[in-house]
Amino acid sequence: MSNFEIVTRTDFSDVTYLLEVRHPLLARAARPGQFVIVMATEHGERIPLTIADFDRDKGTITLVIQAVGKTTREMQQNCHVGDSLYAMVGPMGVPSPIGHAKKVLCVGGGLGVAPMFPQARAFQDAGAYVIGVIGFRNKDLVFWDDKFKTVCDEVIVCTDDGSAGVKGTVAEGIRLAIEKHPDIDECVAIGPPIMMKGSAEATRPHKIRTMVSLNPLMVDGTGMCGGCRVKIGNEIKFACVDGPDFDGHLVDFDDLMARLKRFTAEERMALEHWNDTCRLMKQADELAAANARNDPEHY
Amino acid sequence: MAAKKKTIRTIPQARTPMREQDPKVRARNFSEVSLGYGLDEALVEADRCLQCPDQPCVRGCPVGIDIPAFIQKIVEKHHHGAYDIITDTNLLPSICGRVCPQENQCEGVCTVGDTLEPVAIGRLERFVGDMAIKEGWANIPYIESSGHKVGIVGAGPAGMACAADMAKAGCDVTVYEAFHQPGGVLKYGIPDFRLPNEVIDAELDKLKQLGIKFECNTLVGRLFTIEQMVTELGFHAVFIGTGAGYPSFMGIPGESLNGVLSANELLTRCNLMRARDYPNFDTPLKPGKHVAVIGAGNTAMDALRVSLRLGALSVHCVYRRSKTEAPARKEEIHHAGEEGVDFNWLSSPVEILGDDNKTVRALRCVRMELGEPDESGRRRPVVIPGSEFELETDMVVFAIGTNANPIIGQTSKLKLNKRGYIATDENLATSIAGVYAGGDIVTGAATVIEAMGAGRKAARGMKAYLGLRDTESVYDADPAGMRFGIPRGEHGFARLRLA
C-alpha cells in the first residue's frame, strides 16, 4: 500500500539528513511554506515535517530531518534509498503568501534553513531583492549555504561560535542586514521557536512585517484534534489549518515553547527504550556472529 | 409446520439481557463491554417478535430493513437467510447493530413495546452481522458497470454508506481518506470497547469486495481540489463527507496549559494511534491520573471511559445542565456510571489552574441552577453566586462539540453557510453541479447513523444526477420473496439491472 519511495539520501552531519521522496502528485501540489505528515512505520507516530523543496519534473519532495527523538533517529538508521515510508500525507497548511515585497529578508535557523529555501526562491521568482540570513551552531552543521547563494542576492552566514561567517545568532545577521538595507519591507523567519522569537524581536523596532512558521505538536494535521493550537495575539489558532505561517510580532512564543515540552518525559523514555533495544539487538547479532565462527556446522 | 399464532401473552415476557463484562473488570480493559447474544439467547429474543402485520419497525428504520422477515429467519435457525435479508438494504449490520440509537428508531415503535419491553432488534442485527463475520459470509451482488466514475472524500460513515450505494449502482468508486486507515470516526473516535476494530475492518472488507477502492494518505483540497476532481481526475460525481472536525474550546483562562486537550485528540491518540500500547507504538499520550471531562455527549462518555481504562484513579464529568438534558445515549451514561465515573451535573468550568511547569493542577467550577427555558427548549443554566469549587485534576478534556473544518472551504469555491458548513439543497447537492455533501460537514456534529443516512440520501441524488435508476425503487416494486424479478432461492446473489 505504501509506496512513498526514498530516492535520495544525503547526510549533512551526524544529526541532520535529507530524504527525497517520490510522490508526483504531492510535488505538483506543494507550495512554499507547506508541510507533510510522515509515518515511518505502521507502529510509528505521525510527525509533521516542513517541505524543504519539491521537484515537479522528477516528481519528488525533499525533507530535511534532524535526529532528535526516537522517531527521527530510527528514520536516520532505517531510511535508505529504495526503502518506502509507511505513510506520507500533504501538502498541509496554508501556503506562504509570496507578496509583492521589493526587498525581503529570508532568515533560516538550523534545520529551518531547509524550508526557507523554497520561499527564498519564490521571492526571487517574484522579482524581489532577497537577502538570506542563515544561522547554525558551528561550521560543521552548515548546509545549503551554496544553494542559498543561487536564489539570494546576498547571503549572511552566522554561527554561534564564529567558526564560519559572522559570530552570533541570526539576530546579529538581521541587525547587519537592516543596517545595510534600511528599506527591507518584509522578513520571513523559520527555525526553532527561540530563534524565531529572536528574529521577531530584531525586526520589531524597525516595524518590518515578519512572518514565522510554527511547529507545534500535531496528530492528524487536518484540524481535527486541536493539539497544535497556538496563541496569536488574543486569538487561538490551529497551526495545521490556520497556519503554519503567522505574524511573528503577534505570536506568543513562550506559550508555544511550553506546549512543545508537553511530552518531554515520554519522549525521553521512548528514546531510552529504543536505545536499549538497539543495544540488545546489536549484542544478539554479535553473539550470533561469534557462535557462527566457533561452530563450523552453524550457518 | 403450522406454528400456533403468537400473542403478547405467549411470547417470552422479558427482554433477553445481553451479557456484559463486569463493570469493575471492564473499566480497566479495552475489550468490548457488551458480549452479544449467543445462539440460544438470539433464539429466545427472536421468538418475542409477534410478526405483526403493520410492521412499524420497518418504517422506523432509516434504511428500511425488513425486520420481521430477518427475525423470522432466526426463529427458523436459518441464519444465512437472516443475513441475506439484512444485507438487501444494509451492508454494515455489525456496526449499525452496535451504534444505532434503536430506542429512537425501530425499537421505539415496536408493537411489543406498547405492552412489554420492545424486541431487542439492534442486538439481533448485531448477532446476525457478527455471525456473518465469523463465518465469512459476504453477499456480493452481481454488478453491471454503468461506466460512471464517482469520487468520495472521507472514509467515515457517510462516505462508506454513499460508496456502497454508488458501487451497487455500477459506479467505479474511489474513496479518499486523509488518515493512513479508512473508517473515519469509527476508527479514531469510537473506542474499541464500543466498536472493535476487527468489526470495522470486516465491514470495510465487504465494501472492497464491491469493487470500492480506498486511497488513504490523501488530503483532498490540498493534494487536489474538489474542482480538480471534476475537471482533471474525471469524476462524474463527487460526495464530500469529511466530518466536522475542528474541536471547540470554551475560551476560559488556562486552556493552553499542558494537560488540556480536546476529546478528539485524546481519542485519536488512544484509538487510532494506539498510544495506550506506548511505547510499543510511538504516539505518546501521558494519561491523566485525575481527569475532568467537560461536556456530557457521547464523545464525552467515550473520553471518560477511555481515561478509566488508561488507568486514571478518578474521572469527573463536568456538565452545566442536569442529567435530564445530557445529550449522550442513556445507556452510555448508565455504563459510565457503573464503571465509576463521577458526575458533576449543574457545574460549569470557569478557569483551569496550572503549576510552575505550565501543567494542569485543578479545574475551578461554579454550581449552576436551571432557570427559564431557552430557545432550544431546555432550561437555561444560571450561575449560583459564591458557589465556586475546585476539582483536583491533571488532565482536562473538552468534549463540547466541533466547528466546521475549514480545509474544503479554503480550497474550493463551494458555497458555505454562515457557520462555515457546506451549503446544500434538500437532496444534498452543493453549489457545484455533480458535487454532493453530507454528514457532519453539512449539519454539524451528529451521530454515525445520521451520517450514514446522509450518505445514502446523497447517493440517491447522485444516481438521479447521473441518470441511474435507483435500485431501491426497483426493490420496492418487486413482489415479496422476489429480488429484481428472480426468486431469492434460485440464486445466492442479487442482480442489479440498470436502465
Write the DSSP assignment of A92-128 as a string of letters.
ESPPPP----SEEEEEEEGGGHHHHHHHHHHHHHTT-
CB A158: neighbour CB atoms within 10 A?
24
Amino acid at A116: M
Residue B163 gets the label, from left (phi > 0), alpha (psi -120 to 50) or beta, of: alpha
CB-based contact A241 B262, cutoff 8 Å: no
Nearest CA to B275 among B289, B265, B285? Answer: B285
Q: Residue B298 belongs to what H/E stretch? A: helix B298-309
Q: Is the peptide bond before B23 cis (omega within 30 degrees of 0)?
A: no
CB-based contact A89 B219, cutoff 8 Å: yes
Determine the 3-state secondary structure of B54 from DSSP: coil
Nearest CA distance, A81 vs chain B (angstrom): 21
Establish, for the pair of chains A and B, how many residue pairs have beta carbons separated by less than 8 Å.
135
Enter the ipTM. 0.85
CB A249: neighbour CB atoms within 10 A?
16
- Using CA coordinates, name the residue in chain B closest to A95: B222
Report residue B496 as a C-alpha cell. Answer: 442489479
Predicted confidence (pLDDT) at residue B177 exceeds the cutoff of 90: yes
Beta strands in B142-243 (DSSP E): 149-153, 172-176, 213-215, 237-240
CB B476: neighbour CB atoms within 10 A?
9
Query: Quick one: pLDDT band at residue A297, thresholds 50, 70, 90?
Result: low
Q: Which of B246, B258, B269 sits opposite A259 (nearest CB)?
A: B258
Chain CA centroid to CA B27, Å: 22
Residue A8: strand pairing partners? A20
Predicted confidence (pLDDT) at residue A36 exceeds the cutoff of 90: yes
Predicted confidence (pLDDT) at residue B476 exceeds the cutoff of 50: no
Do residues A109 and A135 touch, judged by C-beta distance below 8 A? Answer: yes
Predicted confidence (pLDDT) at residue B479 exceeds the cutoff of 80: no
> Average of pLDDT values for A37-50?
90
Confidence (pLDDT) at B498: 37
Query: Quick one: pLDDT band at residue B480, thresholds 50, 70, 90?
Result: low
Confidence (pLDDT) at A90: 81
Packing angle, helices A70-78 and A264-294, rounded to 10? 30
> Average of pLDDT values for B142-167?
88
B447 DSSP assignment: -
Place of cell 486537550: B261
φ/ψ (deg, to 5) at B61: -90, 130
Query: Quick one: pLDDT band at residue B482, thresholds 50, 70, 90?
Result: low
A34 CB near a chain B CB, below 8 Å?
yes
Predicted confidence (pLDDT) at residue B319 exceeds the cutoff of 90: yes
Q: Annotate B78-144 with DSSP letters as a single string.
A: -HHHHHHHHHHH-S-HHHHHHHS-GGGTTGGG-SGGGTSPPP-HHHHHHHHHHHHHHHT-----B--
Question: Could you tell me which residues come within 8 angstroms of residue B24 by beta carbon, excluding any fewer than 6 positions away?
Answer: none
Predicted confidence (pLDDT) at residue B492 exceeds the cutoff of 70: no
CB B33: neighbour CB atoms within 10 A?
21
What average pLDDT does chain B have?
85
> Average of pLDDT values for A239-252?
90
Least confident among A127-131, A190-194, B98-102: B98-102
Dist CA B168 CA B496 (whole Å): 8
B240 CB near a chain A CB, below 8 Å?
no
B233 CB near a chain A CB, below 8 Å?
no
Confidence (pLDDT) at B481: 52
Residue B399: strand pairing partners? none
Q: What percent of chain B lies above the pLDDT cut of 70?
A: 93
Q: What percent of chain A lies above the pLDDT cut of 90?
A: 22
Query: Quick one: pLDDT band at residue B125, thresholds 50, 70, 90?
Result: very high
Predicted confidence (pLDDT) at residue A123 exceeds the cutoff of 70: yes
Q: Which of A90, A227, A258 sits opposite B222 (nearest CB)?
A: A90
> Average of pLDDT values for A171-199?
89
Predicted confidence (pLDDT) at residue B473 exceeds the cutoff of 50: no
Do residues B175 and B212 touch, judged by C-beta distance below 8 A? Answer: yes
Report residue B118 as a C-alpha cell. Answer: 420492545
Packing angle, helices B121-135 and B67-75, rounded to 10? 60
Predicted confidence (pLDDT) at residue A248 exceeds the cutoff of 60: yes
A242 CB near a chain B CB, below 8 Å?
yes
Question: Could you tell me which residues come within 8 angstroms of residue A6 by beta carbon, excluding any fewer than 6 positions away?
Answer: A19, A20, A21, A22, A79, A80, A81, A82, A83, A84, A85
Higher local confidence (pLDDT), B476 or B491? B476
> Average of pLDDT values for B367-396?
87
Confidence (pLDDT) at B420: 86
Mutate to test the interface with A, among B201, B204, B214, B222 (most CBs of A within 10 A): B222
Max CA-CA distance within chain B? 78
Higher local confidence (pLDDT), B280 or B164? B164
Query: Quick one: pLDDT band at residue B3, thresholds 50, 70, 90?
Result: low
Do residues B291 and B316 touch, judged by C-beta distance below 8 A? Answer: yes
B215 DSSP assignment: E
Q: Give B431-435's long-range contacts (Cβ < 8 A, gap of 24+).
A: B432/B226, B432/B227, B432/B230, B433/B465, B434/B230, B434/B235, B434/B236, B434/B237, B434/B238, B434/B462, B434/B465, B435/B226, B435/B230, B435/B237, B435/B238, B435/B239, B435/B240
CB-based contact B247 A29, cutoff 8 Å: no
Do residues B145 and B169 touch, judged by C-beta distance below 8 A? Answer: no
pLDDT digit string, tens, across residues B321-363: 888 888 888 888 888 988 889 999 999 999 999 888 889 999 9
Confidence (pLDDT) at B475: 47
Nearest CA distance, B265 vs chain A (angstrom): 4
Q: Residue B430 belongs to what H/E stretch? A: none
Ordered alpha helix ranges (H), B319-427: 330-339, 407-411
Q: Is A81 exposed, middle or buried (0-12, 13-18, 19+ CB in 10 A)?
A: exposed
A93-102, B95-104, B211-220 — which one is most confidently predicted on average?
B211-220
> Average of pLDDT values for B225-231?
91
pLDDT digit string, tens, across residues B160-174: 989 988 988 889 999
Confidence (pLDDT) at B282: 82
What average pLDDT does chain A have?
87
Do residues B366 and B348 touch, judged by C-beta distance below 8 A? Answer: yes
Nearest CA distance, A107 vs chain B (angstrom): 26
> Average of pLDDT values for B392-412?
89
> Average of pLDDT values for B383-394?
90
Confidence (pLDDT) at B474: 44
Confidence (pLDDT) at B29: 85
CB-based contact A236 B251, cutoff 8 Å: yes
Residue B351: strand pairing partners? B364
Chain CA centroid to CA B417, Å: 24
Higher local confidence (pLDDT), B491 or B398? B398
> Average of pLDDT values for A108-132?
89
Q: Give A7-15's long-range contacts (Cβ < 8 A, gap of 24+).
A: A7/A58, A7/A60, A7/A81, A8/A60, A8/A62, A8/A81, A9/A79, A9/A80, A9/A81, A12/A64, A12/A141, A12/A143, A13/A140, A13/A141, A13/A143, A15/A66, A15/A67, A15/A68, A15/A76
pLDDT digit string, tens, across residues B433-449: 889 999 888 888 777 87
Query: Quick one: pLDDT band at residue A88, thresholds 50, 70, 90?
Result: very high
Confidence (pLDDT) at B470: 57
CB B37: neighbour CB atoms within 10 A?
25
- Using CA coordinates, name the residue in chain A closest to B257: A259
Nearest CA distance, A203 vs chain B (angstrom): 27
pLDDT digit string, tens, across residues B40-96: 999 899 999 999 988 999 888 877 888 999 999 999 998 998 998 888 878 788 888
A25 CB near a chain B CB, below 8 Å?
yes
B280 CB near a chain A CB, below 8 Å?
yes
Report residue A265 as a C-alpha cell. Answer: 518525559
Q: What percent of chain B lies above the pLDDT cut of 90?
A: 28
Report residue A60 as a C-alpha cell. Answer: 519528488
- Sign of torsion over alpha carbons B221, B222, B227, B231: negative
Do residues A104 and A130 touch, judged by C-beta distance below 8 A? Answer: yes
Confidence (pLDDT) at B4: 65
Q: Which of A45, A89, A269 sits opposite B178 (nearest CB)?
A: A89
B383 CB near a chain A CB, below 8 Å?
no
Place of cell 470554551: B250
Please, what's the b/e burial string for B246-265 (b: 16 or more CB within 10 A of its CB; e: otherwise)? bbbbeebebbbbbbbbbbbb
Place of cell 476560559: B252
